[in-house]
Copies of this chain bind each other. A is one copy, B any other.
């Protein structure tokens, strides 16, 4: 049906091989004249390359796959933008797959769809791969790199912020504003990320000479509802004067629940969000945040998998950006 390289060859009066070289712009192999003839024929026929065929013989493609878990936390877009920008710079195309939300079967599905075709490399955005699926990835021999997630047990390449620093800097920020009773809301206890952030938090507190009460830490899964639930647990007369939200969304959950409980932010309660996506600017008061550089994470990811060399882990810098959700406490 569709025009092939052979049709062009016939029309231009050359061999298919030559057409291939012209189309690939291997200028060393053909004269300008035939080049023009072939281009003209291709245009006339409305030729569309059959990439499946090309990939079959070259065992290569120029697409890089980004697998993202569809959790409601929304930092995926800046990462993807970073990936896209860097990929295009290298003349690579990007396809994105959703891997569900921790469902191993959906992960496997997304994984096999990319592994079965010769993608150049695989980027996994914040997906905590089920143990059973990791071998699939490794066996494929395709370069891969996790983004915005870290591990302590397995040796796999990942790029992320320094989670310990995130917790530490967040806490220091609040301490610097005069707070001492500081909560941490919606953070998980099961993964590296959560544990590290908590460790940084505890260390900062300890350095300041305050020993955190167990109920200051409200565990959760970074979601809006986790934030709500956490604030519900703190109650209308919270023991804490400031709360670190485990994610932007979680912090908004805290914020809204606080309001429901009759608390003013930041007058009665200070808030500091972790992530620093657009959401911080959407709500009022705008949320102060320790912000991750998701865009750079994306470009670093592409660089990592393209380099192929084994920089196994990389850290992208964080910065705290003050907005309007923290009240500076006068010394008591």
Contacts and interface: CB of A to CB of B under 8 A. Distances in A.
A231 to B, nearest CB: 14
A2 interface: yes
Interface stretch (A32-40, A111-119, A182-190, A306-314): A111-119
Contacts of A284: 256, 259, 283-284
A26 interface: no
A141 B95 contact: no
Contacts of A72: 278
B94 A94 contact: no
Nearest to A136: B48
Interface residues of A, number: 46
A98 B84 contact: yes
A211 interface: no
Given A56-B56, A283-B283, A98 B116 contact: no
Contact of A97 (B53, B56, B74, B94): B94
A102 interface: no
A282 B56 contact: no
* List of 4 A-B pairs having minimum Cβ-Cβ separation, nearest first: A96-B96, A51-B116, A52-B55, A95-B95
Interface of A: 1-2, 46, 48-53, 55-56, 63, 70, 72, 74, 77, 80-81, 84, 88, 93-98, 109-110, 112-113, 115-118, 139-141, 224, 252, 256, 259, 278-279, 282-284
